[in-house]
Amino acid sequence: MTTTVHLASRNAKKIAEMQRILGDVVPDLEVVGLDAVDAYDEPVEDAPTFAGNALVKARAGFVATGLPTLADDSGLCVDALNGMPGVLSARWAGPPKSDERNNALLLAQLVDVPDARRRGHFACAVALCLPGGRELITEGVMPGSVRREVAGSGGFGYDVLFEADSAPGRTTAELSPEEKDAISHRGEALRLLAPLAREALTA
């Protein structure tokens, strides 16, 4: 019997990523995004932390759909920018949301920063809201540095600029989905969540 989990996102690459990682441990799992459920009012992501924003989205999705609902919030935290863009990563350059504009702004802000000080990390929090009021939250990080030029066509967001410590010489946009899953902040958070989700969803 298929277990359907709602992911509060329209990002097809993110939905596929969740499906790959959780599907490995939760039997007959189907992850469906916002476009596969009846429309509902999406909440404002105004929490000061990744975990807070993930919970806001997961709670709203569960109330609207009645399905176990996953949500994540993630972003790039750059040391030279005092941890920014952080929770503002997706809208760093202002509306409308645009990966290209966000990346261009980040490069401009770091143009005079030497390579040794371009350190940072991706952070991710994943929340799962379940019937009965149960909520699960896990977090992951991926340390690395910000490149001076974009490279690669995979991933999304700042992947074209980020070189992970565990995959030197390539941006995370140049990694295969499997390579990225193995080292990414979201992959780490989901691997921590997976056994908890399996227990909760198959009980």
Residue 161 DSSP one-character state: T
156 among annotated binding-site residues = yes
Alpha carbon distance 90, 102 (integer Å): 7
158 among annotated binding-site residues = yes
14 among annotated binding-site residues = yes
Among the options 41, 73, 115, 181, which is catalytic?
A: 73
112 among annotated binding-site residues = no
DSSP, collapsed to helix, strand or coil, labels residue 95 as: coil
12 among annotated binding-site residues = yes
9 among annotated binding-site residues = yes
Contacts of 25 (CB under 8 A, 6+ apart): 194, 195, 197, 198
157 among annotated binding-site residues = yes
11 among annotated binding-site residues = yes
Burial of residue 131, with CB atoms counted within 10 A of its CB: 0-12 exposed, 13-18 middle, 19 or more buried? exposed
13 among annotated binding-site residues = yes
DSSP-assigned beta bridge partners for residue 164: 144
The amino acid at 147? R
DSSP, collapsed to helix, strand or coil, labels residue 126 as: strand
Is 73 among the residues known to form the active site? yes
Residues at the binding site for Mg(2+) are: 73
Residues at the binding site for substrate are: 9-14, 74, 156-159, 180, 185-186
Residues at the binding site are: 9-14, 73-74, 156-159, 180, 185-186
Which residues are designated catalytic? 73
